[in-house]
Each structure stands twice: as C-alpha cells, then as structure tokens.
Structure 1
Amino acid sequence: MSAGRPARAERFMPRTRPVVPPIHQSVTYFLDDLAYKDVQEGGLDEVWYGRFRNPTVDVAAEEVRDAESAEAAFMTSSGMGAIATTLLTLLRRGDRVVAARQVYGDTRDLLVRDLPTWGFDVEQVDATDLDAWRAAVAAGPTRVVYVETLANPQLDLADLPAIAGIAHEAGAVLVVDNTFATPYNVQPLALGADVVVHSATKFLNGHSDAIAGVVAGPAELVREVQRRVITLGTCLDPHAAYLVWRGLQTFELRMSRSNETARSLAAALSARDDVVGVRHPSLPDYERAEVAQRVLRRDGDALRAGAMVSFTVDGGDERALRVMRRLEIACEATSLGGVETLVSTPFNSSHFSLTPDERRAARIDDGMIRVSCGVEPSDLLIDDFNRALDQER
C-alpha cells in the first residue's frame, strides 16, 4: 500500500460495463502526464476538472451532435447560456448583429438591452421578410445573423436557405436557435446554418426536469465556444447532462407522438368560430406553407410540422387566461417540450418584458395562447380545449 494513490484510483475504476452511462459527479480527476500536458495547452481535450470537461456531459453532447448531423457539440448550463456564450465567442467590440424580431423574450433582452452596452450593434428585422434581411445586412458590415427556426411563440418558420445565402454573401455567420423545431423536424446545418443552439431543457430533455443548453456546429467553432464556457463558467452539471441523455433515448418516439397530437389539435382548433389565427405548419392556410415544403423534414409525403401550436381567442389576453385556467389536462406553466402538454400566454410569461405595441410588432396577438403538445391521447386533449373554450364563450 505504499503507492496509495494508484490503489485509490483502482478502487474507483468500474469493473462492469453499464448499459446506462454513469454520472461522473466528481469535480476533479487524477492527474497524469497527459492531463498536465492538456492543462498547459488549454485544457480542452482531457478530463481533469469539471468546468473544462466531464464524461457525462460529453456523452449527452454526442447525442445532440448526431441528431443535428454536426461535426461537434458542447453542452452549457442553459439555453440562454448557449446563446450568450455563442454570441460572445463570435463577436468582437464594434461588431454588428442582425437578428429576427420574432425571438424568445430573454433572447430579445440579450440582443437589445445587453449586447449594445457591451459594444455591439444590433438591428432587428421581421423574420419573414427577406427584403428586410437583405437591407439590414447590407446596411453595414455584419458579423452575425440570428434567427429561430420556428419563432417563439408566433411559429413563423424561417426560410433558412434564403437567410443563409444572405448572411454568407455578406460574410456573416448564421446562428439558428432550433429549440422549437428540434432536429427531428428541421436540421438547420443541412440548410446552410453555421451553428445551432438549443435550450436542451425543452424537447431534447423532454421531461421538464433539467435545465441545459447545447451548441452544435463545426468542430473548430464549437471548440472556441468551449473555451468561452470555461471562462464564463456556463458549464453543465453532470446530473443534468445525464437527464438530457436519458431524455434523448426516447426523443424520436416522443417527437413523433407530440407532432401528431399538435397536428390534430391545430385542425380541431381551426374548426372553431371563436378561435382565430391558429398557427401550425401542417395547416392548409399556414402562411409559411411554401417555406415549410422546403425546410421541414418529412415522413414520406407528410411534413414533420412540430409539436408547438399557437392560437388566438376572441376577447384578448383576459379571455385567454380564463380559457387556460379551465383546462384540466393541459397545464398552465412556463417552458415547453415535456411529455405533458403545457400552455401559456406570452403577454405574462415568455414576452412579459415587451410592451403591448412591441408584442404586436413582433406578431404576437392579444389573446394568443401557446401550446406545447405532450404525449397525451390527442382526443382527450382536443376535448379538454373544446370544453375550456365552450365554458368561456
């Protein structure tokens, strides 16, 4: 026992081959010559300290890498951590960002409140207006173009190939938030995006029990994001990474079921005379139908149209609240992407920081309800919404 350290290391070595990856909860690891060399070279390759790398986090990242058909992926502490870390990796003081106006509320706050105070210029445009994209990108040297695949909560589908062409012609990097669409429905990298970010808290995890983010794209860029994660401390806890990994094992099964439920619910809501503006890419009158044909993945002839539905009720936000609170199966709660159906009104949750005029400018109607469809039987969910709407006529 004179060589105490090797004996201790051997005691912790696994003697089995687990089917499920272990949770490496250790913050620090035994050092050897390879680890010391890695420390001296920046600490990106070997596992020796948890803020730099963790085996459980790596396993979860590899699952997302494969789902997005990316060269590499790296996990972060949250979706906003992925977005902020990616932008701070790409931008230098004085750089310019052109971003969609239709984005998640906290993303908007980062773009219009925080980035300008840090020395970056930001211009927002209507995500559906290609002429506006061209004009904004041409108005000055642009470093980053930023858009959500399916906008939160309007479900405006971005014309990713066209926006990628506009960005690349100007020498800009296209960053796409694919949280709402997920790689099951859209693979932005295959359509011209340079890097993809996710709130892995949502559909990738799928069980509303872990907060996480992920960045996927070219290995060199992801490596630079990893450097910023180390510096900024936006690293992911290994237990949360395990929960994301676990959720990804049923990702395609969940998305297939939730997609079909959303398709059925959207059709049922469209048939009501007290509901207007139902938004789901499967609907015949979806205003981005032509884009959907080019952007969405398919199952045979059927488009994979996503698990999110947005609709507007007559009577404005107050009636929308009353309708939500009549629901018995769907849960009124923030977030999305879980096995349970979640509903919220943007005016008092995801986009509460916007004024009413700012919400309307972002195509968020008064009385809009956002629905994240879970895996419940679609007939039960449709009955739940019809009952709640009938009770609040």
Structure 2
Amino acid sequence: MSEGRPGQSSRFNRRTRPVVPPIHQSVTYFLDDAAYKDIQAGGLDEIWYGRFRNPTVDVAAEEIRRLEGSEAAFMTASGMGAIATTLLTLVRAGDRIVAARQVYGDSRDLLVRDLPAWGLDVVQVDALDLDAWRAAVAGGPTRVVYVETLANPQLDLADLPALAELAHAAGALLVVDNTFATPYSVQPLALGADIVVHSATKFLNGHSDVIAGVVAGGFDQVREVQRRVITLGTCLDPHAAYLVWRGLQTFELRLSRSNATARDLAAALAARDDVVRVRHPSLPDYERAEVAGRVLRRDGDRVRAGAMVTFTVAGGDERALRVMRRLEIGCEATSLGGVETLVSTPFNSSHFSLTPDERRAARIDDGMIRVSCGVEPSDLLVGDFLQAVDATD
C-alpha cells in the first residue's frame, strides 16, 4: 500500500536509479526476519508475496495517491474490483447503502442485484435530488452513501460537499466513483468524501491497453480494503500496474487536451437544431452549472469540465447508431478515457441490462450517444461529428 507525505517519491529504488520503474514480475520474494514478523501481523507492510503487495503496483498507487491527495491508495484488478471490494469492506449483512440511481450499469447490477442477495439493504435515489438523499439517509441507519462524481452516461454532477455533509451527519461514509471526472477536474476527498474509487482502465491509464482499479482515502480505511483484496484475490498484475504508471506520466497533458476538445465538441453540437440535448459542464445551460462552479477545479474563469460529452439526437436509438457508424475518426467501442475518441450508445452497451423504462428513470434518453474525447485535433474531431449528424438527417 502506498502512503506518505506529498513530495516523497517511490518512483524508483535509488540504489539502482532507473528512470523508468522496473516491472517486478515475481510472485514471491526472499524471506527474512522482518518478513516473518510482517506475516504474523497480517502481511500488509513488507513485500514477500505478490497477492499482498508488489513494488511495481506500489509505484502506480503512489502516483494516484498524489493526484487524489489521499493518505493512501491501493490498486485492484479492475474498476469493478475496486468498487465491489470497497463496499464489501465497509458493510456487513443488514447494513444500508444509499446510492445514486445514475451509475454505471455494472455498478447498478452490484447494488440492486448482488448486494441485496448478500443481505444488504440498498436504496437508490435521483443523484440530483438532495431532498431525496436526505429522506433516504434518514429512512434508517445508513453505512455508505455512494455516488459518481459525473454520472455515467448522463454527466449529472454530484454536489459532493452537500452529500458529504448529510452522510457524515448520519454517521455514514461517502464513497465516490471519480472515473469520469478524474482528479484533473475534481478531488472528492478535498470536498469531504471518505473514499474514492476509479476504473484506472480509463483516463488514469489513458491508452486502452490495461484493466485496473484503485481505491484512495484515509490510511486506515484503505488498509482494510487491502485486507479484503488479499482475501478476495482482486489484486493487480505488476505488468498492468506498469502500464497504468506509464499512462499517468502524461495524465495532465492528455486531460488538458481532451477537456478542451470536449468543450469545443459540446458547443458545436449544442448549436444544432437536430441535436435534442447536449450534456457537458462547460455549457451555459448545463443543469448543474451552479454545482459545477463550486465543485470543479478551474483554469482561470473556466471550470475543468471533463473529457466526456453526452448528446441526444432526434430519431432515437436507431438514428444514434447510424450517426456513430458514419464517424471516421471517432471509434464505436466500449470503454472510455483513451487517447482515441471512443463513442457508444448506452442502450446496447454500458446500460443494456436496464429496461427502457429503467433507462428513462435514470435520465438516459432514447437516442443518447456517449463520447469520450481523445487527443485528436479538435477541429478534425468536431468536423467528423458534424458530418456524421448531417449524413443521417
């Protein structure tokens, strides 16, 4: 597990001084008295077996710890591994979780299908309705409040300070999935969150070539998650951790570029009569503009609005598919956060498990297209989307 004060470096072992950290592709390590003592204490501190800790995984976790401004961070085999392991660490049978209705499809399945089957009480509410949050949290002893900073795919921005206040007043912990926003735009822990989870597969890695997750937060809480990762075996492979570390070296460069492109694309699409709705926190008519002004980090007078854009075309899901398939630069593919622009329709990918009525209740429109902006030239990408919309009129 990575921990320490800002300014410390675990990028490399100063005795060997490599500029790029080595990949410690070893399952086991030589034992000594310190290792035996650590094993007897639970095995969380020394490096002696790969499922417990790995030097390369620690290096990647340290980079993310710095970005999120947390006391500690620990990596997992996937984003869902981070979410599931965190929740299973914090709750016990009979506990109550209050969660946003607007979440990633697999997160929803975990919340409404799996956790209740294991004896958890899960209540879902509209992420934008603070009164509904208060009523749900007051409805019974609550252990965890769970929300995505920017909801997938609606881009509904959570009022993190308000949610932290109401969660803590009820004795609950606020767990935030910061995958869409990233610490480039928001540091949830600085706004009152207790634990942050990520699919590091996405913007943290940034190259669409690794599956990984991470949990960041207070030292004691992350250590408990580490114990559960060891038990469940949701540990990250060291080569995957190296790929995350490599991607993190260009994190701010990539996010600065893709945020600017997303702003341009959102503005261009919003000017179209045949685009029903565009959701992006940079737009003047963004529903959560006041929250964005308080929650999102800024560059001068502009908020860092994120690299995701969601827009809805007239003609429903069938036309949305046709628009995607006329793109020449944007790639029709699942996932997000890569250097290439990735485009998908929620109804048949991220939220296929929801019925049409459930999608509408979660504010997922018919004809919605989710865009993860990459690092292509902005004018070329905007032109590609406009020609695709034109070609399907």
Structure 1 letter corresponding to 2:301: D
Partner of 2:43: 43
Partner of 1:325: 325
Partner of 1:10: none
Structure 1 letter corresponding to 2:52: F
Structure 1 letter corresponding to 2:202: K
Partner of 1:316: 316
Alpha-carbon separation, structure 2, partners of 1:264 and 1:15 = 47
Query: Over residues 283-314 of structure 1, what are the superposed CA-to-partner deviations in whole Å (9 max), with x where a residue is unaligned?
Result: 00000000000000001111100000000000
Partner of 1:220: 220
Partner of 1:83: 83
Alpha-carbon separation, structure 1, partners of 2:326 and 2:158 = 33
Aligned positions of 1:9-88 closer than 5 A: 16-88=16-88
Alpha-carbon separation, structure 2, partners of 1:234 and 1:318 = 38
Structure 1 letter corresponding to 2:311: F
Aligned positions of 1:112-261 closer than 5 A: 112-261=112-261
Alpha-carbon separation, structure 1, partners of 2:62 and 2:172 = 27
Structure 1 letter corresponding to 2:373: C
Partner of 1:299: 299
Structure with max Cα Rg: 1
The root-mean-square deviation of aligned C-alpha atoms, in Å, is 0.9
Q: Give how far 1:14 is off.
A: 10
Query: Over residues 237-291 of structure 1, what are the superposed CA-to-partner deviations in whole Å (9 max), with x where a residue is unaligned?
Result: 0000000000000000000000000000000000111001100000000000000
TM-score by length of 1: 0.96
SS in 1 for 2:351: coil
Query: Over residues 162-188 of structure 1, what are the superposed CA-to-partner deviations in whole Å (9 max), with x where a residue is unaligned?
Result: 011110110000000000000000000
Structure 1 letter corresponding to 2:46: E
Alpha-carbon separation, structure 2, partners of 1:38 and 1:18 = 28
SS in 2 for 1:176: strand
TM-score by length of 2: 0.96
Alpha-carbon separation, structure 2, partners of 1:219 and 1:109 = 29
Partner of 1:7: none
Alpha-carbon separation, structure 2, partners of 1:115 and 1:302 = 40
Query: Over residues 345-367 of structure 1, what are the superposed CA-to-partner deviations in whole Å (9 max), with x where a residue is unaligned?
Result: 00000000000000000000000
Task: Give unmatched runs, 5+ long, in structure 1.
Answer: 1-12
Partner of 2:288: 288
SS in 2 for 1:285: coil
Alpha-carbon separation, structure 1, partners of 2:245 and 2:15 = 22
Q: Give how far 1:55 is off.
A: 0.2
SS in 2 for 1:112: helix
Alpha-carbon separation, structure 1, partners of 2:147 and 2:33 = 44
SS in 2 for 1:73: strand
SS in 2 for 1:226: helix
Partner of 1:273: 273
SS in 2 for 1:35: helix
Partner of 1:348: 348
Q: Give how far 1:15 is off.
A: 7.6
Structure 1 letter corresponding to 2:241: A
Aligned positions of 1:366-381 closer than 5 A: 366-381=366-381
Could you tell me the percent identity over the aligned residues?
86
Q: Tell me the number of residue pairs that the alignment of Structure 1 and Structure 2 aligns.
A: 381
Q: Give how far 1:227 is off.
A: 0.1
Alpha-carbon separation, structure 2, partners of 1:122 and 1:287 = 27
Alpha-carbon separation, structure 2, partners of 1:169 and 1:268 = 43
Alpha-carbon separation, structure 2, partners of 1:365 and 1:43 = 48
Q: Give how far 1:16 is off.
A: 3.8
Structure 2 letter corresponding to 1:276: V
Query: Over residues 309-366 of structure 1, what are the superposed CA-to-partner deviations in whole Å (9 max), with x where a residue is unaligned?
Result: 0000000000000000000000000000000000000000000000000000000000
